[in-house]
Structure 1
């Protein structure tokens, strides 16, 4: 009898200790999750573009409403959307300086600009690259410190970001396309390279040898699995390919966009919390968005609404251009083809 009571008492103590250990583990786990959420949320930088530009903008795209009384199959947003994505060559921070090979001075430029149009339903996308050397009429833009920039005729497209930051970049794109940019996303060197590494690299196929001293990239023609530093070098490469112009570089950047979509599809992020966190940290740490996307829930909602998107349903094109009459090293929009392209995205 005494032996049986002793065993029950021992089991009782063991259960209590196990419960305490599991409770502590749960508290630690929840605390860790809360810290991770706070950390990632704090990473995101934002710009209030809507307030800066006011109502003098193209109209928002109208989405087809659901049939009366029909239940929505998903709470996720599904309307058509236009997003301006800029790649910034900011040298801010040691990692950006290392990847950019430059000093920390001189400000930043938007050397990569893409308008991503998501069709209604968000199962198809069109990615339109805007050459940085395009000569445009840069509108007057509000300055963060007050006042406005002057209208500039025949200015290089990427000068908009240099003189007025994200607000002027958005206003210039809207002025030249008459398409409302619903969102703005900017990522720098370190963010792009970190994202590629967190995803496990990307696989691309090059049709010619690439040797570029400026981007420090050496690749033989063929299929390669690139890490983040190599992928960034490929995105920046223009010397040693084609006519060494920005137009050749755009082709490589569009190839990388599809490679990233394929890599995301092949990576079970939800099945690997560690990798998911690495991807989220790499992305948010170097991300600047408009204020409608500046939180984890908003970014997650956007990402989840694109889960049906794939490289096969994504079309990549470049804004139609031709050599500028005033400078053969610059380009201008080729009309009416350019206007017809933008019209298709409204």
Structure 2
């Protein structure tokens, strides 16, 4: 073989290597583009899931003052510190029947939505402990005048059920009513619907709850013996809605179950290593964002992630659950009213 032929063969080999490397480079570049594009789509999808209401603009300045606390330093000097000041969040569980999934879980179209669950979540400064105060939906209150989405304002209503505020004026009226009866400023608002709650529990692999008594409720379709149970999303939702199969059938018995469920969910989230499974992480994130309606201060994935990161030191054992002190309403044995002065003292303690 001549030197010229050797060089020719080497040249062909070099050419093949060059083409192989170029193809590999193009494939790698394509994979990176697809990966970046998929990541961008995931962020956009999760961000677009979140619905929000501009509560601050709707209510204006006629509200309780914000309680300012001294932030506790967090993070390194080079990192952007996470917020650590105290905050109050009104969390509502909505029984909206909008959409096929909510209708299936809620038992059909009720022609409206109510706040089945109402909790004022007070997070202490430093964000390592919290107090959750449930407000019975059967509480008779003075509902203030509220701006309506259809325009205009509602009239003040005396001795009306607490959950009528949400039915009448949605999140804005719910927040205004809570602030009116507590004199505590709600810094944020979070609402979770039927299907989103069930999806979240399923994405976490279920939730384990211990019940102190048998539950036999045909209305919520939940039948459980006393003891420890690992519940699916549908079962957990039924537990949160059960009232007729326990205790005296009032909302107070349901609230105790809801508070157990909240703590169990916190424990489940803390014990689930989402970072080791991108698929499970996405399922949980999709379930959370897809079920939420928030105020405009929490209406982006970035803001929700920052809130979640700021609460990483909050353990279930450091969450205290209470119910607003109430007594039977003199006007109706099936309703309750705030027990004073204990109720006012509780709200004052949160400030």
**TM-score per shorter chain, which class?**
over 0.9
Q: Which residue of 2 aligns with 1:282?
A: 287
Question: Do structure 1's residue 185 and structure 2's residue 190 form an aligned pair?
Answer: yes
For residue 98 of structure 2, the aligned residue among 80, 92, 95 is 92
RMSD between superposed Cα atoms in Å: 1.6
8 Å contact 2:72–2:84 — kept in the other structure? no
Other-structure match for 2:241: 236
Show structure 1 runs of 5+ residues with no match.
none
Q: How far did 1:74 drift? A: 5.4
Partner of 1:271: 276
CA apart distance, 1:282? 1.0
Query: Which residue matches 2:43?
Result: 37
Aligned equivalents of 1:250 and 1:216: distance in 2?
18
Match among 44, 53, 58 for residue 52 of structure 1: 58
Q: How far apart are the structure 2 equivalents of 1:253 and 1:74? A: 36
Q: Aligned partners of 1:65 and 1:121: how far apart in 2?
A: 7
* Residue segments in structure 2 that go unaligned for 5+ positions in a row: 1-5
Counterpart of 1:169?
174
Change (3 A) 1:73 1:337: farther
Larger Rg: 2
- Measured in 1, the distance between the counterparts of 2:254 and 2:183 equals 26
Contact 2:72 2:85 in 1 (8 A): no
Cα shift readout 1:199-242 (whole Å, capped 9, x = no counterpart):
11100111111111011111111111111000000000011111
The alpha-carbon distance between structure 1 residues 267 and 65, as it changes in their structure 2 partners (threshold 3 A), is closer
Q: Distance in 2 between matches of 1:147 and 1:288?
A: 23
Cα deviation for residue 11 of structure 1 reads: 3.5
1:24 aligns with one of 24, 30, 47: 30
Match of 1:310 in 2: 315
User: How far, CA to CA, are the matches of 1:66 and 1:163 in structure 2?
Assistant: 40
1:127 lines up with 2:132 in the alignment: yes
- CA distance, structure 2, for counterparts of residue 204 and residue 74 of structure 1: 38
User: For the residues of structure 2 that align with 1:234 and 1:72, how far apart are their CA atoms?
Assistant: 46
8 A Cα contact 2:50 2:289, kept in partner: yes
Give aligned pairs, total: 343
Q: Secondary structure at the match of 2:274?
A: coil
Equivalent residues of 1:66, 1:72 under 8 A apart: no
Q: TM-score normalized by structure 2?
A: 0.94
SS in 2 for 1:132: coil
Distance in 2 separating the partners of 1:208 and 1:117:
29
Aligned partner of 2:119 in structure 1 is: 114
Inter-partner Cα distance in structure 2 for 1:34 and 1:291: 22
Q: Is the 8 A contact 2:71 2:83 kept in 1?
A: no
What is the aligned partner in structure 1 of residue 228 from structure 2? 223
Report the CA distance between 1:106 and its aligned residue: 1.9
Residue by residue over 1:235-265, the C-alpha shift from the partner in whole angstroms, topping out at 9 and shown as x without a partner, is 0001111111100000000001001100110
CA shift, 1:268, in A, is 1.0
Counterpart position of 2:88 = 82
Please give the alpha-carbon distance, in whole angstroms, between the structure 2 residues aligned to 1:260 and 1:8. 61
Q: Within 2, Cα distance between the matches of 1:123 and 1:269?
A: 21
Separation of aligned partners in 2, 1:232 and 1:321: 25
Compared CA separation, residues 266 and 66, structure 1 to 2 (3 A): closer
**Could you tell me how far 1:292 is from its partner in structure 2?**
0.8
